Amino acid sequence: MPTETPSIEAFIDALPKAELHVHLVGSASVPTVLELARRHPGGPVPVDERELRAFYGFRDFPHFAEVYESVSALVRTPEDVATLVLGTARDLAAQNVRYVELTVTPYTHRRAGMPMPAITEALDLAVREARARHGVRVAYIFDIPAEFGAEGARGTLDHALAHPPEALVGFGLAGIEQCRPPHRDVFRDAFAAARAAGLRSLPHGGEMTGPETIWEVVEGLGAERIGHGISCLDDPRLVAHLRETQIPLEVCPTSNVCTGQVAGLSAHPLPRMLEEGLFVTLNSDDPPMFDTTLTGEYRVAAEVFGLDRAALAALARNAVTASSLDGPDRRAIIEEIDAVAAAAA
């Protein structure tokens, strides 16, 4: 008797996954944020669940950045940092995620009064606990908050070089892209130093500005992977370059809709990016803030974009291939993905 083909939802649930684009503060679940808000009262973040969910209604990207900064300000102790990492690992484990590259903005935690060694110690402890408790392997990307310009760049680089966590694999640049041009040379210098120290160049680009930002992260920052990159389709020469080089793009559909970069999921450029032969991975960015999950993004890809099981498995393989995992660990997860895909064929 033939085996019944699993539903697309069951297939997505069973698919082993890697998450490459998720922010530490943005990954905090609603209960975790409420816990932090009650632990550190007096700020703008609500301590009531209904009010907090309303607080996560974003008018545009600057408003999102303002809300994000308010939540980030609740992270005031090393224990808070470890709590966030372990909460993220717990949530990802429930989605069959094997590996995550978690973006941390250490400069904001230092501004809150935490010393570099204490932040690093908390991050190291959380990596060990995440693996032991939840079976999720955690790596870190340290990113520069663009709004802080040269000060943020130097502070982030200093931390990455002087007190790196054991699992630090990459150096990034995020925040409001329109803030970058006055600090272009400072960012370039910081990335050159980080790359010389063995860190991968993993900046955001082309989320809220045009192709010129993507060209800058490719040519000026030596990007090995690009966060978002959705505006690349406005420049045929850039599309051709990305297709030829196969630089991975970390695409976050629900995030782009929630921050007003795309009018709606049906208008999202991901299907065309795939049609153009670009190297695409699916990611969740700041999942509780956008009422999504990584599993939810795969379901969007199936239900809204019409991707079938083979295409979803290809996206899962892409994320593992684009990750900083070493060869044997990378192959092991890809073999798991292949087994799930074969069973559903």
What residues are annotated to the active site? 207
Radius of gyration of the chain (CA): 19
Distance CA 118, CA 165 (A): 10
* Stated length of the chain: 345
- Residue that has been written with the tokens 């993507």 in this structure: 214
Give the tokens for residue 302: 């199936």
Please tell me the distance from the alpha carbon of residue 125 to that of residue 15, in angstroms, as a whole number. 28
- For 63-99, b/e burial (b = at least 16 CB within 10 A) is ebbebbebbbbbbbbbebbbbbbbbbbebbbebbbbb
In this structure, are residues 220 and 153 in contact, taking their beta carbons and an 8 Å threshold? no
- Interatomic CA distance for residues 284 and 304, integer angstroms: 16
Structure tokens at 113: 């009064």
